[in-house]
Amino acid sequence: MKTKLLLLLTIQIFNLYLSQKSGELDQNFYADNGLNNSVQKIIIQPDKKVLVSGIFKFFNGVSKQNFLRLNSDGKIDINFLIGESLNSNSNDWCDMILQNDGKILLTTQGKFDSQNVKSLIRINNDGTIDTGFQFDANFYISRLAITNDNKIICVGGAEKLIRLSTNGLKDESFKLDPAVKLREHIDGGGIGHVFVQNDDKIIINYGPIYDTTYINTIITMYRLNKNGEIDNTFNAPDITSVKYFKNQSDGKIIVLGKNKINNSSLFRLNNDGSLDLTFNGYSYDFLNNHNFEIDSNDDIYILNNNRVIKLNKNGEIDSNFNTNASSANNPIFTITIDDQKIYLGGAFQQYSGVTKNFLARIYKNSESLSTQNIVSENILYPNPFNSNVYISEKILKIEIYDFNGRLIKNIDKIEKNSDFSYLKKGEYIFVLFDGKTKKSVKMIKK
């Protein structure tokens, strides 16, 4: 009887699967009370730290206005020296761009960490102001974009669109083509969105950011050459509303808006601006589609009010994504994809019924890990362990799961002698990533 029971336990262990489902909430990220108001933009740095901007004033009760940085686990980065951040009395959020060198461009309302500053500043990776950035104007900047050589595109001011050199001074070699019709609209519309392609050509649209009442309004999309002249090889169809647009890897342009040809709320333009009729136009309610992102496979993740919908690169809905129909309790405004994680920000306080104030992270792909894949190599020792574990190989990342398949911890900074004393007594699966392969090790905490 004892032998049969041991055999049964062995079978159960080796048929165990640890799994995560696409669209499912990562409950290990951002576990505190967090922010007190909405998130409008998220950027993931190469070191996996998370830049967040929005109209919030506090983080866990501590004054952090409009802008902050979190560690990869969603806790505040105490080494980011920005004090109370923007100190803005306005509900306008700040736009931000991460340069290739790790410095951060940030629009302001005239204050940063209690200092009087211009409407555009650059901060170093530690959160201090870059005093070598010489931007000296003070007009309101609504949008930022950056070229491959770190020149800065600014939307705003009397000239509507300017380019700055890397030192912050105006780049006089860039002149906005006077043929660009900067016509005003009764809703005060202007340049609604700007995007820099991989070839450094600039796409802009001029008109209302979105159009709910002016059905006959025509919004012009332009593509500009590097010097600011109109690219006459680009001719977009009649468009009535535009929110955002981004390139796929082949240079085709995904547009969140409305056009007069097929009335789709998400459509694709060819490189010459013509409507791509091979794209399966997505036609959910335009007003509830807040933003979208494109991943490295050219698949599209669109924010439809309080949920994320995945389309393949040709616009067809991926029914295998988010099969649990996970969603937030209020609108999601912004989305950022990093590796296998999707970061969401908006006006929600819950995601999948779990408290996540205005910020959440979900899984991009479903993944199963069978304990049949556990290796017996002596990569981690001692095993069983009490506290410290020695790592014999170069490991870049460790994921720790319990035997119910629940992710306990994500570790991005790996030391040869690592302390795991915080784990409770029991059995765990350590999933090790070396940058090329993934190995699973069963570990026992005494």
Listed range (202-206, 353-357, 371-375) with the worst mean pLDDT: 371-375
pLDDT over threshold 80, residue 57: yes
Does the N-terminal peptide bond of residue 331 adopt cis geometry, omega within 30 degrees of 0?
no
Which run of H or of E encompasses 305?
none
Q: How many CB atoms lie within 10 A of CB 249?
A: 11
Quick check: is 414 in a domain?
yes
Q: Whole-angstrom Cα distance, residue 15 to residue 54? A: 45
Per-residue pLDDT band at 46 (split at 50, 70, 90): very high
Q: Whole-angstrom Cα distance, residue 241 to residue 285? A: 13
Q: Whole-angstrom Cα distance, residue 290 to residue 302? A: 8
Residue position matching structure tokens 């919030």: 56
- Number of independent structural domains in the chain: 1
Backbone angles phi, psi at 80, to 5 degrees: -90, 105
Instruction: Report angle CA 352, 76, 86 to the nearest 5 degrees.
Output: 105
Q: Whole-angstrom Cα distance, residue 266 to residue 279? A: 9
Query: Measuring CA to CA, which residue among 314, 254, 309 is closest to residue 285?
Result: 309
Query: Which of residues 122 and 239 earns the better pLDDT score?
Result: 122
CATH of the domain at 414: 2.60.40
Token pair of 270, please? Answer: 């060819």
Quick check: is 421 in a domain?
yes
Quick check: is 402 in a domain?
yes
| Residue 65, pLDDT score | 85
Residue 16: burial class (beta carbons within 10 Å; 0-12, 13-18, 19+): middle
Domain boundaries, position 399: 380-445
Q: Whole-angstrom Cα distance, residue 411 to residue 320? A: 28
Mean pLDDT of 108-130: 84
Query: Which of residues 155 and 165 earns the better pLDDT score?
Result: 165
C-alpha distance from residue 411 to each of 25, 149, 217, 386, 388 (Å): 18, 33, 51, 18, 15
Q: Tell me which range, 23-32, 140-149, 162-171, is most confidently predicted by mean pLDDT.
A: 162-171
Length of the chain measured in residues: 446
Mean pLDDT of 383-387: 92
pLDDT over threshold 60, residue 212: no
DSSP secondary structure code for residue 94 in this structure: P
User: Is the distance from CB of 162 to CB of 145 less than 8 angstroms?
Assistant: no
Quick check: is 433 in a domain?
yes
Quick check: is 333 in a domain?
no
Query: Measuring CA to CA, which residue among 88, 81, 135 is closest to residue 108?
Result: 88
Per-residue pLDDT band at 257 (split at 50, 70, 90): confident
Backbone angles phi, psi at 6, to 5 degrees: -60, -40
| Residue 15, pLDDT score | 43
| Residue 7, pLDDT score | 34
Quick check: is 439 in a domain?
yes
Mean pLDDT of 99-122: 84
Burial 88-100 (b: 16+ CB within 10 A, else e): beeebbbbbbbee
Quick check: is 129 in a domain?
no
> Residue 306 carries which side chain, given as an amino acid letter?
N
Quick check: is 357 in a domain?
no
